[in-house]
């Protein structure tokens, strides 16, 4: 069977094609439109998925939308009524759009699909449920015959947290926590309060947390969150504004913590670092109580995670190390984009009753390399068309040139194979650097990515060497687990260095690989496997042979506010608009000093800040 899944109209629209129960192609719409978190109908992502098969839309067995719009409308309407008259202005703003478009989303989707293929039969359009889509995206590609599936996000139709049990092809949701009580919305409220964008800046808040102290944890638990021993909770809505207003928090929230919400781009202070540390601590406590209780209640030994909160890799690492589960697997596209994949998988197994074959190897996601790829001749032709100057090499020559550039301290744009599905660059569309360099983190943040200096970078490490460098013995192919650098790799700190606080910690080298060692000695791991990405594995092996270090800095190939690059042209523009010094696209090697200076771009104002 060939089933297309779609997510759209909120944020991170995407399309995913499943063939006989196996993820075949998937991509976010933002990669094609170059609009970060694009929420529009994913026409170009659908076009890509169809192009991979050579089929027309009308030849597919089904198209599945990732949630039920009418149920979501019901929740919104009930919410407005429950807070009336406080939510009247938001009601007046939202209702015209719902009554004009969103309430009739089935018709709207049918029209959009028929615009792509006039022969498409609207009877093939199906609807999943938001949390079922998330749960399916996590369980069906996992390497487990049976597992507990925990989904945590902002809100779908009504659920904000859900528990499902998966066994073979069966997947059933058994528990739900409903809106407005939401761990995702709680974290987003603090994201807003710290001055970052909701549905975009949550990972910044997580990265800021180690600079601060959890000084406000008890205040959060005393006033905002009524947390039960089993991890269930209720939020005191007197402190929030997301039910009836236009922001996440209100004046009572600000009075509780004694400061107004930070304006975007205003200076970060120790207060904001403490706020980040505090909500991170609360989040970890909630998920640990949940997972401990569920493990005891169900006896399950495997755990799958999905939903936006599952991108909190610090919490994921603590769940794994807590030991209640033998294995923890996280869907790499845990957010709404992954709902497209889950919707298609849920339909395949539940709607059409097809059996499931448990994935062998790492999992059924093919390393998350499900996006577009470009043949060598096409790469060379596209680069010539934009005026690029490059050398073509064989595989060995390209790898040798790249290793040489990395050892020389260059920031290297690395564009290889199929693009990753999900928010993380995993060696398909990456910027790479030498992790041994004490200045690499600052260089990449300020001169290459044009973003805040405090933000940490992930280490990509040969899977076979991970235990020699990090306190982690398991795989982590998707950068969704955090572990500490091994003690013998750490540098002994002076008393003066130990006494530093906040951003002052940033300039202190803490290990043999300072560019990927956060201020608390943690690192967001990506284990690199020869079976899913042999070329990236080969590069790391070459770097290890040259330096003795099997680790590289790996960050997404984009600048702040830009989606990850999709095409060779995107890669060249980013290369010419930043301080990336070397670009490797397939086996083509480009050096900045050999390019036409007239092609340089001002990238600092090209994209809206995230």
What lies within 8 Å, CB to CB, of 266 at 6+ separation is 195
The separation between CA 436 and the C-alpha centre of its own chain, rounded to angstroms, equals 26
The span from the first CA to the last CA of the chain, in angstroms, equals: 39
Whether the CB-CB separation of 452 and 574 falls below 8 Å is answered with no
CA distance 64 to 349: 13
Place of tokens 């601060």: 212
What is the 3-state secondary structure of 278-332?
HHHHHHHHHHHHHHHHHHHHHCCCEEEEECHHHHCHHHHHHHHHHCCCCEEEECC
Which residue in the list 11, 37, 472, 537 is annotated as catalytic?
11
* CB < 8 Å & 24+ apart, contacts of 438-443: 438/509, 438/514, 438/515, 440/409, 440/411, 440/514, 440/515, 440/553, 441/506, 441/514, 441/515, 441/516, 441/553, 442/506, 442/507, 443/411, 443/579
- CB atoms under 10 Å from CB of 478, counted, come to 27
Q: List the strands of the sheet with 2-7, edge to edge.
A: 22-28, 14-19, 2-7, 62-65, 125-127
Catalytic site includes residue 11: yes
What lies within 8 Å, CB to CB, of 85 at 6+ separation is none
My answer on whether omega of the bond before 85 falls inside 30° of 0, hence cis, is: yes
Active site residues: 11
């Amino acid at each position: 069977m060939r089933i297309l899944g779609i997510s759209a109209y909120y944020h991170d629209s995407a399309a995913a094609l499943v063939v006989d129960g196996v993820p075949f192609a998937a991509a976010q719409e933002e990669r094609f439109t170059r609009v970060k978190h694009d929420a529009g109908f994913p026409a170009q992502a659908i076009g890509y998925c169809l192009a991979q098969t050579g089929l027309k839309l009308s030849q597919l067995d089904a198209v599945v939308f990732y949630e039920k719009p009418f149920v979501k409308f019901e929740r919104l309407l009930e919410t407005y009524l429950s807070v009336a008259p406080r939510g009247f202005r938001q009601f007046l703003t939202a209702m015209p759009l719902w009554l004009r478009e969103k309430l009739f989303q089935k018709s709207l989707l049918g029209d959009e699909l028929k615009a792509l293929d006039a022969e498409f039969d609207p009877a093939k359009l199906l609807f999943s449920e938001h949390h079922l889509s998330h749960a399916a995206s996590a369980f069906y590609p996992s390497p487990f015959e049976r597992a507990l599936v925990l989904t945590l996000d902002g809100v779908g139709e009504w659920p904000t947290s859900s528990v499902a049990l998966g066994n073979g092809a069966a997947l059933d949701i058994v528990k739900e926590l409903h809106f407005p009580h939401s761990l995702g919305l709680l974290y987003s409220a603090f994201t807003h309060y710290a001055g970052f964008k909701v549905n975009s800046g949550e990972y910044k808040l997580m990265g800021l947390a180690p600079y601060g102290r959890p000084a406000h944890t008890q205040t959060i638990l005393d006033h905002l969150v009524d947390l039960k021993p089993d991890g269930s909770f209720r939020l005191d809505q007197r402190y929030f504004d997301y039910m009836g207003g236009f922001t996440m928090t209100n004046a009572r929230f600000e009075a509780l913590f004694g400061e107004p919400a930070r304006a975007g781009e205003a200076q970060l202070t120790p207060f904001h670092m403490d706020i980040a540390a505090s909500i991170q601590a609360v989040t970890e406590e909630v998920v640990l109580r949940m997972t401990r209780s569920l493990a005891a209640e169900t006896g399950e030994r495997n755990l799958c995670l999905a939903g936006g909160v599952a991108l909190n890799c610090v919490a994921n690492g603590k769940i794994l190390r807590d030991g209640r589960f033998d294995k923890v697997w996280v869907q790499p596209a845990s957010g709404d984009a992954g709902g497209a994949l889950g919707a298609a998988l849920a339909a395949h197994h539940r709607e059409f009753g097809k059996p499931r074959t448990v994935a062998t190897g790492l999992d059924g996601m093919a390393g998350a390399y499900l996006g577009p790829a470009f043949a060598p001749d096409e790469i060379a032709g596209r680069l010539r068309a934009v005026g690029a100057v490059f050398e073509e090499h064989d595989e060995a020559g390209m790898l040798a040139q790249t290793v040489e550039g990395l050892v020389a301290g260059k920031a290297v744009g690395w564009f290889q194979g199929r693009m990753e599905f999900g928010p993380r660059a995993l060696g398909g569309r990456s910027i790479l650097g030498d992790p041994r360099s004490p200045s690499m983190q600052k260089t990449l943040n300020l001169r290459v990515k044009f973003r805040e200096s405090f933000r940490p970078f992930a280490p990509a490490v040969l899977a076979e060497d991970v235990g020699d460098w990090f306190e982690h013995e398991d795989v982590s192919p998707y950068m969704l687990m955090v572990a500490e650098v091994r003690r013998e790799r750490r540098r002994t700190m002076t008393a003066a260095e130990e006494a530093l606080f906040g951003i002052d910690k940033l300039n202190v080298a803490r290990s043999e690989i300072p560019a990927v060692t956060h201020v608390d000695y943690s690192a967001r791991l990506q284990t690199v496997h020869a079976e899913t990405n042999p070329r990236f594995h080969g590069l790391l092996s070459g770097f290890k042979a040259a330096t003795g270090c099997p680790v590289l800095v790996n960050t997404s190939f984009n600048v702040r506010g830009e989606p990850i690059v999709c095409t060779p042209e995107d890669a060249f523009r980013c290369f010419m608009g930043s301080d990336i010094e070397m670009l490797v696209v397939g086996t083509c090697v480009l050096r900045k000093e050999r390019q036409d200076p007239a092609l340089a771009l001002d990238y600092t104002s090209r994209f809206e800040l995230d």
